[in-house]
Chain A
């Protein structure tokens, strides 16, 4: 294949990476931005999203003999809701009781990581399982064919991003979240129940990761260790983009996803990981607040 088409293919792969990364990193960034909680269990919500998607779609197709598309749509609805509910329970039972103390919550979410991971290992097992894509359509370009589903994932992530942006910047609940993020104490003095805001934000962050996972299981597979890579990449994204800056997170996810995809296609995935890790080191040295980091309050 000539260089041009090869670059196009690599760009598609990069955009796919960026799409999923945007969703997971956005969840992590939202939780950190509003709650000042570093959620180490974030990748496990992603993994749970994928595993529950497998369960739901398998159940729907085996019990009712429905086509894969129905199982997928059911998973897309059920899985994020279930993960959001689990996250909310964890938030109420653990983070709230720790008073959202930054250090304690890191340790607590490490605990959550292992609890979720081991529970899935015990129930779902160590196998990697694939969910059937809702549709198979190959887009035939002059040089190569490309999965229509992958392009759908990119588009779906873009739409979700717009929805999140709209909610945050144009709705009442978004204003409440932003007020809580800037100054939780003053927000309370104006009647905002920051407790409930925290619950909601933690659940929403987990749901974003879960949606990313449901979109990804037809391409990758559901496995109990699949949360670790996205966690690492999300952290890298959030650090490069600037802690708590949603715009920075999205731009950094695009940057990392694209470079990861392109470098993986042209050279090797290992080199891609090395380069993004190097990038983090450089950002931490020269611009510790991140490329778009919010000023310290």
Chain B
């Protein structure tokens, strides 16, 4: 069934990924793909292997087997710092801002890979005008919502074709969650491929096109989001809602 749903013009393609933490195997044949303009959500309980999957895509963890391809380019063969240059923007779990540095410095780090940063930055401020007002503020002193905006903005500075977001709504107020959702939908509209890790089912149902249910380090089932709205039994089974 998963094969039928896999888009042919897949942009990001994860295939049979095995990742170990020491001796314990965290990912066991993780496979899925994300196409341009598509929002794919990895849904699963804590410890299922979602963050590990994103870290493996970014080259921050070395898989012992399997592939990560972006438009046919094998990413697992690249050094970690070369992965973002291929056009992948990463919004890590817990945001991982350079919290002692200013908003401007954080954005500048996002811009490291760009040759002409000006245009990208205008686009980013268009999405997050509030950041432009706080360029000189130390990022650790921003509110939780603003920090999430900055983490997202920093990833967008790469001008990525694929965006990985790891639990972007974690610990945010409902109004902020709506903002993040709007941003994701805007990016989808611009043709970005978006891989979203979430635990909040409502947040997933309102933005995702497809949901991959993760358990024990692999995709146990994949479903279009429409089917989940009609029949939530899968949600009950994999995330207990």
* Residues in A lying within 8 Å of B, measured CB to CB: 172, 175-176, 178-179, 182-183, 185-195
Contacts and interface: CB of A to CB of B under 8 A. Distances in A.
A191 B100 contact: no
A182 to B, nearest CB: 5
A182 B106 CA distance: 12
A186 B92 contact: yes
A193 B100 CA distance: 21
A175 B106 CA distance: 9
Interface residues of B, number: 25
Contact of A178 (B79, B101, B158): B101
B60 interface: yes
B98 A193 contact: no
Contact of A194 (B81, B90, B96): B81
A114 to B, nearest CB: 33
B109 interface: yes
Give the top 7 A-B pairs by smallest Cβ distance, nearest first: A191-B113, A188-B80, A193-B81, A186-B96, A191-B84, A189-B90, A188-B81
A290 B99 CA distance: 21
A185 B60 CA distance: 7
B81 A191 contact: yes
Q: B84, B99, B109, B154 — which one has the most chain A CB atoms within 10 A of its CB?
A: B109
Nearest to A185: B60
Contact of B112 (A178, A182, A190, A195): A190
Most buried by A among B59, B100, B154: B100
B60 A190 contact: no
B130 interface: no
B108 interface: yes
Contacts of B158: 190-191
A179 B81 contact: no
A292 to B, nearest CB: 13
A186 B79 contact: no
B78 to A, nearest CB: 11
Interface of A is mostly: helix
B58 interface: yes
Interface centre among B90, B112, B154 (most CB of A within 10 A): B112
B96 A179 contact: no
Nearest to A191: B113
B83 to A, nearest CB: 8
A190 B101 contact: no
B134 interface: no
B110 interface: yes
User: Most chain-A CB neighbours within 10 Å: which of B60, B81, B101?
Assistant: B81
B105 interface: yes
Contacts of A190: 84, 90, 109-110, 112-113, 154, 158
A183 B96 contact: yes
B112 A176 contact: yes
Nearest to A176: B112
B85 interface: yes
Contact of A182 (B81, B90, B101, B108): B101
Given A190-B109, A190-B113, A193-B79, A182 B100 contact: yes
Contacts of B98: 178-179, 182-183, 186
Contact of B84 (A172, A178, A182, A189): A189
A34 B105 CA distance: 17
6 contacts: A178-B98, A179-B101, A185-B96, A187-B109, A190-B113, A190-B158
Interface in B75-128: 79-85, 90, 92, 96, 98-101, 105, 108-110, 112-113
A190 B86 CA distance: 11
A89 to B, nearest CB: 21
Max count, chain B CB within 10 A of own CB: residue among A172, A189, A192: A189
